[in-house]
């Protein structure tokens, strides 16, 4: 089974990775994402931002999304078209809109600082746009960022 595709041409590029619902898969994805950004000549900081967004959302899916221990797959895509990097994460875990999570109180003192919800807050802050939809029994999380931001 081919689970890793990268297509490149002069105008646009696309990366697709199919992940198992296991945390170590995030590292495998990160290497593919780093390679994608490097091949496009884009800054490492942008790769970091996308890796962070993928990491936070996939950690949530793997940790809380399934009722059983069975093997599932999460489809991740990344594309660059005309200076816009677009990403999508599609999973068949329980319907869950991460954008409904409460914004954490980032001014609280260390002693009573909650860390839950921070991951989604990162995605919202670092990306230009984030959208969620549930379609055909699957969660779709889309996010994008301009390369020139």
Partner 1 sequence: MDVIEERQGKTIIVAGKGRLDSNTSKDFETRLMGLAAAPETSMVIDLGNVDYISSAGLRVLLMALKKVKAGKGKLALCAVQSHVREVFDISGLSTVFSIHPERQAAIQSVA
Residues that bind partner 1 (CB under 8 A): 23-24, 26-27, 30, 44-45, 48, 51-52, 55-56, 59, 63, 104, 106-107, 109-111, 113, 115, 118-119, 121-122, 125-126
What distance in Å separates the CA atoms of residue 55 and residue 47, rounded to the nearest whole number? 12
CA distances from residue 16 to 6, 25, 40, 95 in whole angstroms, order as listed:
7, 14, 15, 22
Q: Closer to partner 1 at the Cβ: 121 or 142? A: 121
* Shortest Å, Cβ 101 to partner 1: 12
Cβ closest to partner 1, residue 14 vs residue 118: 118
Alpha-carbon Rg for the chain, nearest whole angstrom, is 16
Q: How far apart are CA 36 and CA 77, in angstroms?
A: 11
Closest CB to partner 1 among residues 6, 52: 52
Q: How many CA atoms lie within 13 A of 34 on its CB side?
A: 7
Beta carbon nearer to partner 1, 65 or 119: 119
């Amino acid at each position: 089974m081919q689970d890793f595709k990268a297509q490149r041409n002069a105008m646009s590029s696309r990366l697709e990775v199919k992940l198992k619902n296991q945390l170590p898969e995030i590292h495998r994805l990160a290497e593919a994402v780093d390679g994608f950004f490097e091949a496009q000549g884009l800054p490492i900081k942008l790769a970091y931002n996308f890796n962070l967004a993928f990491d936070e959302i996939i950690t949530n899916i793997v940790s809380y999304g399934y009722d059983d221990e069975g093997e599932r797959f999460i489809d991740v895509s990344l594309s660059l078209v005309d200076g816009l990097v677009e990403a999508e994460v599609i999973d068949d875990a329980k319907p869950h809109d991460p954008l409904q999570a409460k914004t954490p109180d980032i001014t609280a003192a260390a002693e009573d600082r909650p860390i839950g919800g921070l991951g989604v807050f990162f995605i919202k802050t670092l990306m230009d746009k984030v959208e969620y939809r549930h379609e055909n029994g699957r969660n779709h999380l889309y996010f994008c960022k301009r390369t020139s931001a």
